[in-house]
A and B are shown apart, each in its own frame.
Chain A
Amino acid sequence: MSLLGRSDFGHRRMEEEEYGTEYEGGEGGEQYTAMQSQGGGANFAPSQGGSLFRSEEMALCQLFLQSEAAYSCVSELGELGLVQFRDLNPETNAFQRKFVNEVRRCDEMERKLRFLEKEIKKDGIPMMESGEPPEAPQPREMIDLEATFEKLENELKEVNQNAEALKKNFLELTELKHILRKTQQFFDEQETLEQGGGVGQHQQLIQDEGGAGGGGLHLGFVAGVILRERLPAFEKMLWRACRGNVFLRVAEIEDPLEDPHAGDEVIKSVFVIFFQGEQLKSRVKKICEGFRATMYPCPDQATDRREMAVGVMQRLEDLNTVLGQTNDHRHRVLAAAAKNIKIWFVKVRKIKAIYHTLNFFNLDTSQKCLIAECWIPRLDLETIQLALRRGTESSGSTIAPILNEMQTTESPPTFFRTNKFTNAFQELINAYGVATYREMNPAVFTIITFPFLFAIMFGDLGHGAIAFLAAFWCIIKEKQLLTRKSDNEIWNYFFSGRYLIALMGIFSMYTGLIYNDIFSKSLNIFGSSWQVSIGPNQIIHHKSYMIDPSSNATDKGYYGTPYPFGIDPIWQIASNKIVFLNSFKMKISIILGVIHMLFGVTVSFLNSKYFGKTVNILCEFIPQVLFLSCMFGYMGLLMLHKWANYTAGGINGDPMTNEQCAPSVLITFINMVLFNDNDPPAVGCDPYMYAGQNGIQHLLVIVGLFCIPWMLFAKPFMLKKEAASKPNEFFDFSEVMMLQGIHTIEYALGTVSHTASYLRLWALSLAHAQLSEVLWSMVLRIGLSTNGWYGGVMLWATFAAWAGLTVSILCLMEGLSAFLHTLRLHWVEFQSKFYSGQGYLFTPFSFEKILEQAENSLE
């Protein structure tokens, strides 16, 4: 059924020739025939042939699907998530695609679902989570779903419209009710005025009309309701426009009324305007309309008003009932929808994804089948065949799908099978650049080197314990925290790196024990090897005292054997602690740096061997290793030699190996490079550490210098010779030469600068230790040195402050800083020795990923 042949990925560019794309048919090729029902996706144990060292072998395959079976086969492949389809119709735009109608229908359904979701959220109804995501439904189900959504949407729209109309009615009636109530007073006053009796405060208003008393002033009136904020302007306008000939009475409505459109609450006031004459009436009406005040017909007579009030109350009650029932109905409809809405979302998104993918296919009209091109991992061929078979069976088609491997010169995507533990490290590496197809993956080594280099900079038992405990809690509560999807980005970053942080914490606890540093105090577990052995009567006269560790010192201050594990606890309270630790940490940093870089160069050898590039091995790897080892490897050896062969007081009392005669490694190195002779460090000392050192150093420098032209010229000339034997291939010598020149300079200068760059391991470690000490002595000591009974209370308060600052400054800030520097050391100093990072990620068609993306984009 499936035809598999050897594929031969050729060259793409000059650069890619290095680490690219030659297929060697190594570990993975022959294993596929074994039945591997892995269930796809990520397993913890890598399967035979697949590993994290190199990206998986990929095959470009052609897929022939019968038109009827296409939908269900793609559905099965989407569940599997192991196939990356290529777009075979890139020139066609979205409207010319074959399945554009179906995609459009899915978009419509999604829009209706979002409308429903919004309404459900507005009412505060909880939506049930879908649990197991349902499978993509058959195409015929799509029509049913569409009908359901249409019905729901229409019903909801109708209910909403009705509710709005009812609310408007309700508002009008409420306003009328208020008017009828409030205007009672006004009309009473008005009647007294009309009868000519009583001097009201508003006498002034009608003075112009012709004095008090006198016959009946028959006033017309207009009653209405206006927003309270518009009232002052309204009054002013009325006064100006009617020249003071109208009479305005206002009363406030205490309860806020609900605006039917926006749904928010507004405060309104009742007003009555009295005027005389038709002209004023029209003017007043126009002003009212301008200020959007609603006017209501209010009857003249009190009895009429009372009747109206009763009628209004009745209608209000009826309306209330109807409104209540409408809301209940809406609630019921939404609650019923809320049960299924998440499942519907999943189904609709899956359908849309399937049709979107089907749009990538080519239609072969003569045989009525769809053709697709896809990248699949070679190891998963069996699983994919099974999935395709399942799809064909479920669609009831008889013709089986054909999976056919193609030859191609393109470079395949990079696919790493990671689990929840290795994922974080792979992400760190991918952030810098995705590994080229089948080159060595630095993420594997990063699992250990990253926490280790971090721990050198962060070494504190207490802070490491805090980081470890926090990450450990995240790991224990993993399942709970995964379901609780948070949109707090910072939390998501920390949570997804929980395994990384846990490892960093463990390693930091280890280096904390080595540095013997817990919150800037040291632990004396095994008994210090130092003691102050001058008598108590003498010590009281010394402000500071230096303990001489040499074996022939008059006062035996040093036992002779060092502290068994880590730094002696006495150093923490010594005043020359920093001087001592500086020397130690700087040398360690350089030594570890050189080891790390040599390891990087070795990985480049593994790459060259795998891709069969012997020219790289001869012309790049060997001179690179020689250069690095002869210069900086030798410097590391000098450091180790000095540690072993010089001691306080000399080895066995020999004055040539005492602390005064120990030559400086840095000065020795500088003199070595400049071909100078060493000066003796003190009178009577040997300027060299071992016999013949000068000669050996000269030799090493010459070898190192010779490596430069070797790196520069060997490869271009060898490539030129190779190209001469193949006259068809295009070979540009000047370009090759220039590239090689760039690489050589980069490497040679890089060794110097990167070696010095590793000194950041020392610098950050020093900063961390000092910050820790400052925090203790400036904050906690306040609580510790208060006398009296309130000392305990002060300590209680200062401890909280100290703990907060420890977590925020020392753990979080220093932790992030050390994390960043470690990342830089990996990305630049380590990976520049071998990594090309020119690949692209394998992005399979996977429902899981699509659903996740849709969830995240909505929030």
Chain B
Amino acid sequence: LILFYKRKMALCGPKLSLCGVIISAWGIIQLSMMGIFFYINSVALIEDIKLAEEYEDLRKLKTDMDAGYQQNAYNCWIAALMYLVTLCVSAQQFWMNSRTSYSV
């Protein structure tokens, strides 16, 4: 039991951590850009915001759209930050994996 605690084992193997690094890097770039595009109310992303089926009042439509865009922008940025954390974790796992295999 003592030996188990002394040996620093990685949480995931080299392949999983490498996947994690790549997807996290991609996620950070893409999600932060998507966040920016949502923030400036880009028309291309209009189908991705939550809107009701029908609207009678134009002002309601505008407020809903603005709120939807904002919400999505914040979602994207939160996810981007979470991927930043994932990147650090994956990078550390990857570094630890490559180190242990080196010493053998």
| Residues of A participating in the B interface, judged by any CB pair closer than 8 Å | 521-524, 536-537, 540, 569-570, 572-573, 777, 780-781, 783-787, 791-796, 799-800, 803-804
Contact = CB atoms under 8 A, between A and B. Distances in A.
A787 B72 CA distance: 9
A795 B56 contact: no
B61 A792 contact: no
B23 A803 contact: yes
Given A540-B61, A796-B79, A800-B23, A785 B44 contact: no
Interface string B45-66: 1111110000110100100000
A524 B72 contact: no
B43 interface: yes
Contact of B78 (A540, A572, A780, A791): A791
B32 to A, nearest CB: 12
Contacts of B79: 783, 792-793, 795-796, 799
B31 interface: yes
B74 A785 contact: no
Contacts of B30: 799
B75 A795 contact: yes
Contacts of A781: 47-48
B26 interface: yes
Contacts of A537: 58
Given A787-B50, A800-B23, A803-B26, A792 B44 contact: no
Contacts of B31: 795, 799
Contact of A795 (B58, B61, B76): B76
13 contacts: A521-B45, A569-B43, A783-B79, A784-B72, A784-B75, A784-B76, A786-B75, A787-B71, A792-B79, A795-B79, A796-B82, A799-B30, A803-B23
A783 B44 contact: no
Contacts of A524: 42-44
A792 B30 CA distance: 14
B interface, over-half SS = helix
B48 A785 contact: yes
Main secondary structure, interface of A, reads: helix
B76 A522 contact: no
A257 to B, nearest CB: 26
B58 A792 contact: no
A791 B71 contact: yes
A572 B50 contact: no
Interface in B58-104: 58, 61, 71-72, 74-79, 81-83, 86
A783 B58 contact: no
B50 A800 contact: no
Nearest to A523: B44
A145 B12 CA distance: 48
Contact of B58 (A522, A540, A793, A803): A540
Which 7 pairs of residues, A with B, have the shortest CB-CB distance? A792-B78, A795-B79, A791-B75, A796-B79, A796-B82, A784-B48, A792-B75
B84 to A, nearest CB: 11
A307 B6 CA distance: 45
A486 to B, nearest CB: 14
B75 A521 contact: no
Nearest to B37: A521
Contact of A573 (B44, B55, B74): B44
A794 B71 CA distance: 13
Nearest to B74: A792
Interface in B1-34: 23, 26-27, 30-31
Given A540-B55, A792-B82, A800 B27 contact: yes
Contacts of A569: 43-44
A775 to B, nearest CB: 13
Contact of A572 (B44, B61, B72, B76): B44
- Which residue among B26, B71, B75 has the maximum number of chain A CB atoms within 10 Å of its CB? B75
Given A540-B55, A803-B26, A795 B50 contact: no
